[in-house]
Amino acid sequence: MSTAYMTEPAALESLRGQQYVVLRPTAAVATFYEREQAEILRRLPESTPHPNAGHVTLRGLSEPQRVDALRELVASWAGTRPPIEVRVDAVDGFPPPFQVLIARLERTVSLVDAYASLTASLDATDFRRLGELPLEEWVFHLSLAYASDLDERAWTAAFAASSRAVAPRPRELVSSVDFVWYGADGEHIDSFAVRSS
């Protein structure tokens, strides 16, 4: 059984009725993520929300009545994709009002192509998408901690203590896509293998 991405009750409640297409690193990037997140959380208030598992979000949607149809689209799309390269470039952050500390990713060819091809697949439907940005504006990342509750001074200090270029840059090939959906009973994860390279 896959490790849950989100476990905090407030987060699960806020995500109810939403669906996400994500990549789950499991090798070098996952190891980096776990160590970096643990170090960051040691410097933040104990109550700071954070993901339970690292993930790269490719799309968010709101189709609580059409989960099955959306799952079928994601499964079909995943089967057309080669393994996707994920490489950490830096520890960074989204500024106020978001105040999220992140592991920013390099825009690898396969990652950019995955985002673009998923956009094309969704463009042929009327599925309702959340927070979508054009490819050139999208920042590929893994969220480390959600620090929006920090005041300006505390956020500035947390960002300064965490942000840095990463060298050497951990990388891995992700060979599956997760369709994550949230209902009244919490989080559900369906995993679909990409095609063999």
* 29-85 residue pLDDT tens: 999 999 999 999 999 999 999 999 999 999 999 999 999 999 999 999 999 999 999
Burial class (CB in 10 A: 0-12, 13-18, 19+), 111: buried
The pLDDT value recorded for residue 119 is 97
Which pTM was predicted? 0.95
Q: Which amino acid is present at 127?
A: F
Percent of the chain whose pLDDT exceeds 90:
96
* 118-128 residue pLDDT tens: 999 999 999 99
Q: Is the pLDDT at 93 greater than 80, yes or no?
A: yes
pLDDT-derived band at 197 (thresholds 50, 70, 90) equals: low
* 97-108 residue pLDDT tens: 999 999 999 999
The helix/strand/coil state of 154 is helix
Q: How much is the mean pLDDT over the chain?
A: 97
- CA–CA separation, 105 and 83 (whole Å): 16
The domain made up of 9-189 is a member of CATH 3.30.300.30: no
The pLDDT value recorded for residue 167 is 95
Q: Which amino acid is present at 32?
A: F
The two structure tokens encoding residue 194: 């990409």
Domain definitions of the chain by residue range? 9-189
Q: Is the pLDDT at 196 greater than 90, yes or no?
A: no
The two structure tokens encoding residue 51: 């993901």
Instruction: Kindly give the residue spans of alpha helices, DSSP state H, lying in the chain.
Output: 9-15, 28-43, 67-78, 109-123, 152-162
Exposure b/e, 126-164, CB count within 10 A at least 16 = b: ebeeeeeeeeeebebbbbbbbbeebeeeebeebbeebee
* 159-173 residue pLDDT tens: 999 999 999 999 999
Q: How many Cα atoms occupy the beta-carbon half-sphere of 181 within 13 Å?
A: 18
Q: Which residue from 61, 162, 150, 171 is spatially nearest to 106, judged by alpha carbons?
A: 171
- CA–CA separation, 59 and 135 (whole Å): 11
